[in-house]
Chain A
Amino acid sequence: MREVAVVGVGMTKFGERWDKQLRDLFVEAANEALKDANMERNEIQALYVGNFSAGSFVGQEHVGPLLADYLSLKYKPAFRVESACASSGMAFNLAYMAVASGMYDIVMVGGVEKMTDISAPEATSVYAKAMDAEWESFFGLTLPAAFALIARRHFVQYGTKPEQLAMVSVKNHRNAAKNPLAQFQFEVTVERVLASPIVADPLHVLDCSPITDGAAVAILCSAELAKKYTDTPVYVLGFGIASDTIALHDRSDITTLGAVVEASRQAYKMAGIEPKNIDVAELHDSFTITEIISYEDLGFCEKGKGGLMIQEGETEIGGRISVNPSGGLKARGNPIGATGVAQVVEIVQQLRGTAGKRQVPGAEIGMTQNIGGTGSTCAIHIFGRQRR
């Protein structure tokens, strides 16, 4: 397996993009990435696209060739990958494999979702398709309700508090306020989070990631070719991919996401690092509780101490491990299929040192952690400024 580098990234403004269709969003991000890599589109050998549910959101399946067509990638192989919220994290992994294996030298990987063409209740039903249709969503369980159950259990087992959940939202909003592509570029307070309407007790509206339109794209090539395109390639140092039970009730402990534990174990081993070596991480804060549990399952802190970690400010920009400088899913926005690569875009900018006002000082090693459903899929990638 040869080494792989990210040489170009692009992302649309996230939010209610009523002015753009699914294909327009992807083309916008892809063109940004090509420009960033100083690359002609005909150099791209294959396209990998993460997309959760364009069929339900906009009535469009067969997304791979659609986007290849609109990018003028004629006759190029175009793959669409679906793994709920982890769709483009998984697509990124396949794109990495394609280059690492030597099958392709240069590939484009991205993600896109257009969610605002349907109403919020309809969108919630689409989200629920990421769960067990027969044993969860059929009985009325939704994703927010599932994570509310997880949060309540975490409260009971570890004494985590609603205020600590709210602090995740406060931090991520503060970071998003410095991100010109974020959906919510404003700050909130703990009081405001706790006063926002309840979605599923104990999760408030401001504990939940929003409905978002957007696309994000990265261009990968072999490490040998990287310097041809950029002075600041960002290398993939390791990855871990794992799955877990589709239904929450089949897990022995719902306060731990087993796929996250396993995927991170693989990733640390491959990269030859430990959690303490991570300078900056883009974690999957689909709900505030998810970020807190992820601190624990990724080994950033002891099990049960995630609430304390956010409270102590250890994950602020410039803290022990800066988490979600982009604003995360919560405030940068969560266009489901685009989220995984949006995380990569942020880490690449952080490691290049071009993240502007939200730059993590001296970031050398970064991580992306992309979760699907209630943790049934987890894709983790570790990046570095230097080759392994």
Chain B
Amino acid sequence: MTIFKDKKTAIVGYGSYIPRYRIKIESIAHAWGESLDMLKGLRVQEISVKGPDEDQVTIAVEAARNALRRAPEVSPKDIGAIYSGSESKPYAVKPTSTIVAAAIGAPMSVRLADYEFACKGGTEAIISCIAQARSGMIKYGLAIAADCSQSLPGDVLEYTASAGGSAFIIGHDSGDPIAYFEGQYSVGTDTPDFWRRDLIKYPRHGGRFTGEPAYFRHVIAAATGLMKELDMKPEDFDYIVPHQPNGSFPVEVAKRLGFSESKVLPGLLSPIVGNFYSGSSPTGLCKVLDQAKPGQRILLVSFGSGAGSDAFSIVVTEGIERKRDLAPKVEDYINRKKYIDYSLYVRFWGKIAL
């Protein structure tokens, strides 16, 4: 859909955040009397849980601060736009992006808004920053993708929905680039696979309908569309990072697209921390950036229910070597963990209404 031949629109800083608490899916299954056999297909062992004093905003702020740590050349005063993609904002009306702007010291002359498109609001935020940076409307944009993923108690979603997210500082022909954008391609249709009505606390979903006609159709269409535009094949990419609603879909979609498993595993988070909704594939991208070499090419494909996918081709540059150690890596957050049981899980989550 769009090819950026100049290689000048780039990520100059990135950062992630994952809460420290974990619950094993056995604990959830135990609480609900569910057979672990029935859950095998998810290929998820444990998920992150937000702390009692955390929410989507605190995750967004932590990720934004880590992104700024990796972009020492960027002053918060130079950030012209902050967009936050999420489906679990603490406020239905009142932006997360204003709170992040205040927390990081952005100037008053800043463009702020929140994006919602189920699990792909975050990549839409990235696209807005790319567009505004390329057009010269801003010097730097901060795109945030974070969620405290909601799930109905006892629903199959509860075994995957977790908390975490990432942030990216994006500029055009400015700063010390970590990775540049080479092309972008999006698809969308009216496919009601997963939704949450206004004033309803937890999302609903169409069960197996979330698979073939939703996730697979859109991720595959966006990825193949981008590769066709770029005249590239799976062999041209070193990594693929699809949206990760569970542990099996991303591996399966990579296989169907013709990617070897070794290209999807480096960015795969869901088996050990779950699904961050908007923050899922963007945090997978951060995990890949934590280990990629300059010159390597990454295919990032988000998926948002409803439904649509955004695909990006991203090429890592030398700046990665100078910057990756300036903030905690995704792996650091993955390894920092404290297990809780289902009783603490429901309290931290506020799932018991008092």
Contact = CB atoms under 8 A, between A and B. Distances in A.
Contact of A119 (B207, B212, B213): B207
B35 A18 contact: no
A120 interface: yes
A18 B207 contact: no
A171 to B, nearest CB: 24
B37 A18 contact: no
B38 interface: yes
A120 B212 contact: no
A16 interface: yes
A197 B37 contact: yes
Contacts of A19: 213
B157 to A, nearest CB: 13
A349 interface: no
Interface in B14-57: 35, 37-38
A197 B35 contact: yes
Interface residues of B: mostly helix, strand, loop or mixed?
helix
A137 interface: no
Interface residues of A: mostly helix, strand, loop or mixed?
loop
Contacts of B213: 18-19
A120 B37 CA distance: 17
A133 interface: no
B81 to A, nearest CB: 38
Given A16-B212, A18-B212, A18-B213, A120 B35 contact: no
B202 interface: no
Contacts of B38: 197
Among A19, A196, A197, A198, find the residue whose CB has the most chain B CB atoms closer than 10 A.
Answer: A197
Contacts of A196: 37
A245 interface: no
Interface in A179-200: 196-198
Contacts of B209: 16, 18, 116
Contacts of B206: 119
Among A19, A119, A196, A198, find the residue whose CB has the most chain B CB atoms closer than 10 A.
Answer: A119
Contact of B35 (A16, A116, A198): A198
B208 interface: yes
Contacts of A116: 208-209
A116 B213 CA distance: 12
A119 B208 CA distance: 9
Interface in B206-237: 206-209, 212-213
A116 B208 CA distance: 9
Contacts of B208: 16, 116
A198 B36 CA distance: 11
Interface in B91-145: none
A197 B212 CA distance: 23
Interface in B252-286: none
Interface string A110-144: 00000010011000000000000000000000000
A16 to B, nearest CB: 7
B98 to A, nearest CB: 39
A198 B37 CA distance: 9
A166 to B, nearest CB: 16
B7 to A, nearest CB: 40
A120 B156 CA distance: 13
Interface string A195-209: 011100000000000
A146 B212 CA distance: 32
A197 B38 CA distance: 6
Contacts of B37: 196-198
Contacts of B207: 119-120
A116 B209 CA distance: 8
B203 to A, nearest CB: 14
Interface in A1-60: 16, 18-19
Nearest to A19: B213
Contacts of A120: 207
A119 B213 CA distance: 15
Interface in A81-137: 116, 119-120
Contacts of A119: 206-207
A198 B213 CA distance: 28
B49 to A, nearest CB: 26
A273 to B, nearest CB: 43
Contacts of A198: 35, 37
Nearest to A198: B35
A301 to B, nearest CB: 33
B202 to A, nearest CB: 15
Contacts of B212: 16, 18
A116 B211 CA distance: 13
Nearest to A120: B207
Nearest to A197: B37
A24 to B, nearest CB: 15
A119 B207 CA distance: 7
A15 to B, nearest CB: 10
A16 B206 CA distance: 12
A193 to B, nearest CB: 13
Nearest to B204: A119
Nearest to A15: B212
A206 to B, nearest CB: 12
Contacts of A16: 208-209, 212
Nearest to B206: A119
A198 B34 CA distance: 12
Interface string B323-343: 000000000000000000000
A116 B206 CA distance: 9
B25 to A, nearest CB: 15
A196 B37 CA distance: 8
Nearest to B191: A18
A116 B38 CA distance: 19
Among A18, A19, A116, find the residue whose CB has the most chain B CB atoms closer than 10 A.
Answer: A18
A196 B208 CA distance: 18
A55 to B, nearest CB: 20
B204 to A, nearest CB: 9
A225 to B, nearest CB: 43
Contacts of A18: 209, 212-213
A19 B212 CA distance: 11
13 contacts: A16-B208, A16-B209, A16-B212, A18-B209, A18-B213, A19-B213, A116-B208, A116-B209, A119-B206, A196-B37, A197-B38, A198-B35, A198-B37
Interface of B: 35, 37-38, 206-209, 212-213
Given A18-B209, A119-B207, A196-B37, 15 more contacts: A16-B208, A16-B209, A16-B212, A18-B212, A18-B213, A19-B213, A116-B208, A116-B209, A119-B206, A120-B207, A197-B35, A197-B37, A197-B38, A198-B35, A198-B37
Q: What are the 8 closest A-B residue pairs judged by CB atoms, nearest first?
A: A197-B37, A18-B213, A197-B38, A119-B207, A197-B35, A18-B209, A120-B207, A16-B208
